[in-house]
Amino acid sequence: MNDARKDTQEQADFRQYCRDWLNANAPEPPQVRLPQTPLEIMTTEQMDYLRPWQKAAHEAGLVGADYPEDCGGGGRNDCQRIANQEMHAHGTPFFPNVIGLGMAAPTVFHHGSEELKRELLPGLLSGEDIWCQGFSEPGAGSDLASVQTFAERDGDNWVINGHKVWTSLAHFAEWMILLLRTDKSDKYNGLTYFVVPIRSALGNGVTVRPLIKITGETGFNEVIFEHLVVHDRYRLDDVGKGWQVAMTTLLHERGAGTLVTPTAGGMRNTKGESTSRAAMASALIALATKAHRNGKLASEDPVIRDKLMSLFIRQEGLRQSQRRAQVQALTDHPMRIPLQGKLLMTEIQQESAALALEIEGMASSLYLADENAPESGKWPLSYMNSFGMTIAAGTSEVQRNILGERVLGLAKSK
């Protein structure tokens, strides 16, 4: 309700349209168990449920609302936010093409030729083409600019050799955004950015091998390139400008970009329970009022109470800071609050899960396959998965470097 207050006429109409459409068309809950986030999609059954949902939402205009129509978008003004709010409120499933929507689309949009945008964006937005991100390598993680996978020019083509790791969704992906070295003598200016069709090249220059996560799930991969030939038209921006293009990707990955990423749900798990942040806090209270600890309820234990409230306060603090970031008079440095977002969201999530384990006590030892596991083993899974979030997309340590340097103006660490 709150969200509707400041709508423009276009937004208000669109909001109503989204509500009506969702009421009539939101998908039935799946028969298969869905993972906690799209980054752990493992099976074709999961994909076969999620892909048609994104396609339907795209056809209805709820995905890509702000992109131009000739790119497969809705050509609206600042309406993706509205669709997101309505999809979250409705508790729809999430979209499978997260990396495409969140990172590849804005990068292609800002740096691709008109021709490339028209060619790639419609399939990306509809989810027909799943995208993945080939940035990290065995030797290049936090220090991303040290990537070594090499592209050598050969007339109108480039020949790619090297090794990418942790590539989420590569096992389903048709396309990859790829950061490559084109000049070994210059760390930052020796990088060039490409979009590459990998599915069609499997077994023919591209090998995708799944990596197994700490949770036992798959979802990310290593990708090997051996003499893969790619046409120059798939280059984004100039040769040597790869680092600048990658910054556009990273800014959007960390939620600080210019284009609003289409996101839906993930708000309800397979049983239809809400997993929003506020709901998560009350879920923890509910958990504590059931779990036993040292002869009484966990919710009566002073240490648990203190930790619960600390968490609550941090969550509310984050929410209110995001609100305050919109009030210029109450902020000094414009990036001071936005740059905290990724770090805080992921650390609070991690703390929540850690506290849930503490509240569950011995029962937190029970995992997914145990019929006695509280909430089907959700919390041990969440706790392990939370480290994916504090490591990926710029580790918490790297985020603190960025905040210290860009906001507080402290000297750059090596």
Which positions lie near another protein, rule CB under 8 A? 2, 5-6, 278, 282, 285, 288-289, 299, 302, 305-306, 308-310, 312-314, 316-318, 320-321, 323-324, 326-327, 329-330, 336-337, 340, 343-344, 397, 400-401, 403-405, 407-413
- What are the two backbone dihedrals, phi and then psi, of residue 392, each rounded to the nearest 5 degrees? -70, 160
- Judged by beta carbon, residue 135 or residue 158, the one nearer ligand FAD is 135
Query: Which of 11, 80, 136, 382: binder of ligand FAD (CB under 6 A)?
Result: 136
Element (H, E) at 44: helix 44-59
Q: Does 8 bind ligand FAD (CB under 6 A)?
A: no
Rounded Cα distance, 109 and 90, in Å: 29
- Judged by beta carbon, residue 103 or residue 259, the one nearer ligand FAD is 103
Query: Which of 325, 391, 403, 407: binder of ligand FAD (CB under 6 A)?
Result: 391
Residue of 352, 360, 359 lying closest to 383 (CA atoms): 352
Q: Does 276 bind ligand FAD (CB under 6 A)?
A: no
Q: Does 388 bind ligand FAD (CB under 6 A)?
A: yes
Stretch that binds ligand FAD, among 13-21, 27-35, 333-341, 396-404 (CB under 6 A): 396-404
Minimum CB distance to ligand FAD, residue 141 (Å): 2
Q: Does 141 bind ligand FAD (CB under 6 A)?
A: yes
- Judged by beta carbon, residue 228 or residue 318, the one nearer another protein is 318
Are β-strands 220-231 and 206-211 bridged in parallel, bridged antiparallel, or unpaired?
Answer: antiparallel
Burial of 303 (0-12, 13-18, 19+ CB in 10 A): exposed
Judged by beta carbon distances under 5 to 8 A according to partner kind, the member of another protein, ligand FAD, none in contact with residue 288 is another protein
Judged by beta carbon distances under 5 to 8 A according to partner kind, the member of another protein, ligand FAD, none in contact with residue 167 is ligand FAD
- Judged by beta carbon, residue 22 or residue 251, the one nearer ligand FAD is 251
**Which residues, 6+ apart, have CB-to-CB distance to 364 below 8 Å?**
356, 357, 358, 374, 379, 380
Q: Taking CA 281 as the corner, what is the angle to CA 277 and CA 283, rounded to the nearest 5 degrees?
A: 105
Query: Which of 238, 397, 405, 410: binder of ligand FAD (CB under 6 A)?
Result: 397
Residue of 66, 257, 227 lying closest to 162 (CA atoms): 227
Terminal CA-to-CA distance of the chain, rounded, Å? 47
User: Would you tell me the crossing angle of helices 341-360 and 302-324 to the nearest 10 degrees?
Assistant: 160
Query: Which of 398, 402, 403, 407: binder of ligand FAD (CB under 6 A)?
Result: 398
